[in-house]
Amino acid sequence: MARISVLDDDVSLDEPTLIEGFPGVGLVGKIATDHLIDVHEMTHYANVHCDGLPPVAVYRESETAATTPVRLYADPENDLVALRSDVPVNPTAATEVAACLDSWFDEAELFPMFLSGLGREKDEAPPSLYGIATGNGADALGRAEVSEPSESGLVSGPTGAMLAAALENDRDAVGLVVESDPKFPDPEAARVLIADGIDPIAGIETPTDGLVEQATEIRNAKQQLAEQMRQATEESSQAEPLKMFQ
């Protein structure tokens, strides 16, 4: 079964921008997406039912309603949709999940923004951000002045599978790759992702002070999920250098 179950038919979106937040290296996509949902007070818009997603139910603090582990949140004012995932996706199911979401991408006429971390040891310099594109997505990267990659690489996991589907279908989309801590949740990399990539491409303004001021709390809150990702790194969405032929 593959379907997107819309919960609020009153939400009106016009060719929205999608921010994808599957867990990956440094949990940068998830941290950034969770922050966007909270700051912009986005509405729980839909539940995602895709073959290949873990068959689990999720519950939230102070709420009795169970829900799916992958959900969509909407901000009609900014024409924004965010994909929030509380679970990693098994690599054997990445293509299946990507195909499930791909059909909805067409139906919703949205512009996807895929997020990925590139493992780099931390130093004093701020994390670098790079952009890749499919279709005419490079136009959006140019307007936002997102840098081109400094080396060859590949994106794996569900994010890589969705980028591959966008490439196959000639869909306009962008992938944002930010240097991230390979071992721990990285709120600083998520801040760079939002400030230098997501905001200028989506045409929004997102306060990011909380990501820096609450970095320790965020790391602690996300540590269990980060440990799960380290124990099964092949399930992560991640960017990595491609040097085998160079």
As given in the structure block, the two tokens for residue 172 are: 């306009």
Query: For residues 229 and 165, what is the distance between their CA atoms, to the nearest angstrom?
Result: 24
The secondary structure of residue 146, as a DSSP letter, is: P
Q: Please report which residue ranges of 75-156 form alpha helices under DSSP H.
A: 94-108, 137-144
As given in the structure block, the two tokens for residue 81 are: 């949709």
Where does residue 62 fall: left (phi above 0), alpha (psi -120 to 50 degrees), or beta otherwise? left
Q: What are phi and psi of 60, to 5 degrees?
A: -110, 155
Query: For residues 84 and 88, what is the distance between their CA atoms, to the nearest angstrom?
Result: 11
pTM: 0.88
Q: What is the pLDDT along the chain (246 residues), one digit of tens a residue?
A: 568 899 978 888 888 999 999 988 888 999 999 999 999 999 999 999 998 898 889 888 888 989 999 999 999 999 999 999 988 888 888 899 998 898 888 888 899 999 999 998 877 788 999 999 999 999 999 999 999 999 999 999 899 999 999 999 999 999 999 999 888 888 999 999 999 999 999 999 999 988 877 666 666 665 665 565 555 544 455 667 655 333
Among 151, 89, 148, 159, CA closest to 120:
151
